[in-house]
Chains A and B, each alone.
Chain A
């Protein structure tokens, strides 16, 4: 088999994952895109391992490790997303702007920014409490 087939497929999958991470708003959909990117890397590892006929099979061993780490990552990531959802009532990444740099350094400006951002102040108070 031509080596370009799995390599091109992995590159395109990685690009799709990049688009998903950057364009999605829901945190769980971002996690799905991260899984796509990890799988693209796994495909590359397996293809090059089979091509090189590595005696240690480093590519396949690393693929297994990547799959296990991805499982751990998805567990922790979902626990964090659920905690954020319970504290804020939303899992949209665009609305989690508490640690964002305010556009103007004045306090009134930050209050305006918070209200125009459609973030209820009650949620913020609950989150910081």
Chain B
């Protein structure tokens, strides 16, 4: 039934292409799928380079590509606010923190042959098994399921703010307390280091 509805929508879109372009942007549904696929391939490749490269700083920089690609995927899924939060928090602060950590632990800049541990084949086997099982189950379960991306945007800043401060206020406040605790914990850890140094 969902398929029939999707076909119906597609027929309508084919009958009224100009109206569809005006109301839903320049990407047709298949265009969104193609864009999602291409950006997903870039994201997967960047993630693979991140976990396999032997240059530690390059790993952090490829992580930027992977996380930015995920932000584009969020945009394609009409979750705008999540996408910009992803760019701000992950690409903006987490990767910078990781780079600072690499510098402060005197990580080798160039080629470091001991970046991978000895249990690399076991890790590859476990990852391949997990990927195979998860992809098989997911494809088998959602083979005939389609996301309806037309209509109102579901993740705009207005919608996110309304649901966050109307229905999720208490978890939000608890999360701010948790962030404060993490801040204090980080300060305590680094203060003890400085006192030991003196």
Q: Please report A residues at the B interface, Cβ cutoff 8 Å.
A: 1-9, 11-26, 28-29, 31-33, 35-36, 39, 42-43, 46-47, 49-51, 53, 56-57, 60-61, 63-65, 67-76, 78-83, 85-86, 91-94
The closest CB in chain A to the CB of B99 belongs to A28
- Judge whether A1 and B36 touch: CB under 8 Å: yes
- Judge whether B116 and A25 touch: CB under 8 Å: yes
> Of A9, A18, A69, which contacts B127 at CB under 8 A?
A18
Which residues does chain B contribute within 8 Å of A11, judged by CB atoms? Answer: 131, 134-135, 138
> Of A14, A63, A83, which contacts B130 at CB under 8 A?
A14
> Of A9, A29, A47, which contacts B43 at CB under 8 A?
A9
Shortest distance in angstroms between A51's beta carbon and chain B's nearest beta carbon? 5
Which residues does chain B contribute within 8 Å of A91, judged by CB atoms? Answer: 105, 107
Q: Please report B residues at the A interface, Cβ cutoff 8 Å.
A: 29, 32-33, 36-37, 40, 43-44, 47-48, 50-51, 56, 59-60, 63, 66-67, 70, 73-74, 76-79, 81-82, 85-86, 89-90, 93-94, 97-98, 100-102, 104-107, 114-120, 122-124, 126-128, 130-131, 134-135, 138-139, 142-143, 145-149, 154-155, 159-160, 163-164, 167-168, 171-172, 175, 178-179, 182-183, 185-186, 189-190, 192-193, 196-197
- Judge whether B51 and A85 touch: CB under 8 Å: no
Q: In the complex where A46-B79, A82-B190 touch, is A22 in contact with B122 (Cβ < 8 A)?
A: yes
Q: In the complex where A13-B44, A32-B50 touch, is A2 in contact with B147 (Cβ < 8 A)?
A: yes
